[in-house]
Amino acid sequence: MELKSVKEIPKLKNKRVLLRLDLDVSVGSDGFIDDCEDARIKSALPSIEFLIKKNARITIVGHMGRPGGRVNGSLVLLPVVKRMATLLGESMNSKTSIEKTRLNDFDAYSLIIESSRMKIDVLENIRFFPGETRNHANLASKLATLADVYVNDAFAVSHRAHASINAITKKLPPYAGIQLIKEVKNLGKVLKRPPRPLTLIMGGVKAETKLKLIEKFLPRSDYVLLGSALANNFYSELGFEIGNSRLSLGVGSIVKRLISNPAYTILGDVGKNILINPDEVANPDIKTIKSLRKRIILPPDVVLGEMHDNKRLENNIRLPRRTVLVRADNPEISPHPYSILDIGSVTVSLYKEIIKHSKTIIWNGPMGMFENEQYDYGTYQIAKSVAESKGRAIIGGGDTVTAVESDRIDFSRNTFISTGGGAMLEFLINPNLPGISPLIKKTTA
């Protein structure tokens, strides 16, 4: 798949470029984005710096969160613009400043690189407009008034048919940004007949998106390893008590379908097709690992604790951390008010062994509440074994990338860290995403 690159835009000098980025990053409670959370902003720098060098006039469009078409004060892009100003200032060796501005129908920020007086405009969160997620042509037309060409460097949101991703490509000549091209090239390597066994590791939140992707991915997966909030829905559906643990609503039917999927029906002695008996896998050998092929595996043990942010936990520990085995004959995994916050050590050694025997690994979503160091062990161990694995690995999803960046693990050249979560998995299932198809070069055969 060859895309029209930003580097092929003719006569960039003074050309107005609408640059779509994925600015959906976590903002700390102090209103700042720290250097473990800014991977998506950093990944956009090569395109921005290229356009600056060519003296193009840049207007950036991005989103944060899911504000549902309404202005939401907690999802404004000012923290992102500040972080971008710092990063660009460092790379351009210049002071930067920020001013609020308005561009036609849009509230915006001007980021000024003081040494050159170069100005980059960043529109306020585009999802404040209802037309964005409806892929509305009117919103795309309004955006088009701001530019001469369009560049998509927002791989992580390219699976969405949204106005600034898809409809806009009918209004302005579309091109692909530098990071997006890198994503397509690297993910393309596992598209066709990836070496098996292929292991899919899924955790984190956004269950409604991930469960659909797991279902689509089953036929090409040998092992599906679950963790974090994603696993809770399965425990709950199987009748376990999960206390105060996070649960996604409205996903019951897909969880039921996955539990009863005939291609994956392998019964342990526990009588439930996706539960693994912890005693059987405590020290897994290759025979055990092979016998688990074609299974969706729920953690056989989990760590419980109290859901708190770091600070409150330090000051007020009421429920100390403890590990429990998940057994079919004990319906209470997590009594109230405990929450499941990490995978346990039996799960870690089982998952590590499966990862070791995998030739392709696709990982999306942390294994627990890694932001709190009491519960980061599972995620860290999985990251370490993915880094040590000889197979080709792809890691994606905002939280997963934050987790591996904050652990400072050295990944080999066999690992590609994608900026996309859902987009990465959708791309691997079908690369013709709404934001990518319009960028494909037409062959003249």
Binding site for ligand 3PG (CB under 6 A): 22, 24, 66, 156-157, 160, 209, 398, 421-422
Distance CA 155, CA 176 (A): 9
CB of residue 85 to ligand 3PG, shortest distance in Å: 21
Least Å from the CB of residue 88 to ligand 3PG:
21
Give the tokens for residue 67: 């504000």
The residue among 246 and 308 lying less far from ligand 3PG, judged by its C-beta, is 246
Using the minimum distance from each CB to ligand 3PG, give the nearer residue, 66 or 100: 66
Q: Note whether 423 and 158 are within 8 A (CB).
A: yes
Residues β-bridged to residue 150: 18, 174
Question: Please, which residue, 62 or 344, has the CB nearer to ligand 3PG?
Answer: 62
Smallest distance, ligand 3PG to C-beta of residue 160, A: 5
- Shortest distance in whole angstroms from residue 43 CB to ligand 3PG: 13
Alpha-carbon distance of 8 to 15, in angstroms, equals: 13
Q: What is the closest distance, in whole angstroms, from the C-beta atom of residue 396 to ligand 3PG in the complex?
A: 9
Of 5 and 164, CB closest to ligand 3PG: 164
Distance of CA 159 to the CA centre of its chain: 12
Give the residue nearest to ligand 3PG (CB): 24
Nearest CB to ligand 3PG, comparing residues 21 and 120: 21
**Comparison of 68 and 335: residue with beta carbon closer to ligand 3PG:** 68
Task: Between 131 and 299, name the residue whose CB sits nearer to ligand 3PG.
Answer: 131
* Biggest distance spanned by C-alpha atoms of the chain: 70
Of 21 and 112, the one with the shorter C-beta distance to ligand 3PG is: 21
CB atoms within 10 A of CB 152: 31
**Under a CB-based contact definition with an 8 Å cutoff, are residues 337 and 304 in contact?**
no
Q: How far apart are CA 290 and CA 293, in angstroms?
A: 5
- In the complex, the smallest distance separating the C-beta of residue 433 from ligand 3PG, rounded to whole angstroms, is 12
How distant, in Å, are the alpha carbons of 159, 172, 188, 314, 427 from that of 430?
10, 25, 11, 46, 5
CB of 167 to ligand 3PG, least distance (A): 16
- Contact partners, residue 276, CB within 8 Å, separation at least 6: 268, 270, 292, 295, 297, 298, 300, 350
- For residue 399, the minimal CB distance to ligand 3PG (Å) is 9
Q: How far is the CB of 70 from ligand 3PG (least distance, A)?
A: 15
Nearer to ligand 3PG, 250 or 262 (CB): 250
CB of 57 to ligand 3PG, least distance (A): 26
> Is the Cβ of residue 278 or residue 422 nearer to ligand 3PG in the bound state?
422
Taking the least distance from each CB to ligand 3PG, the nearer of 63 and 295 is 63
Tokens matching residue 30 = 């102090």
Question: Shortest approach of ligand 3PG to residue 419 CB, angstroms?
Answer: 9
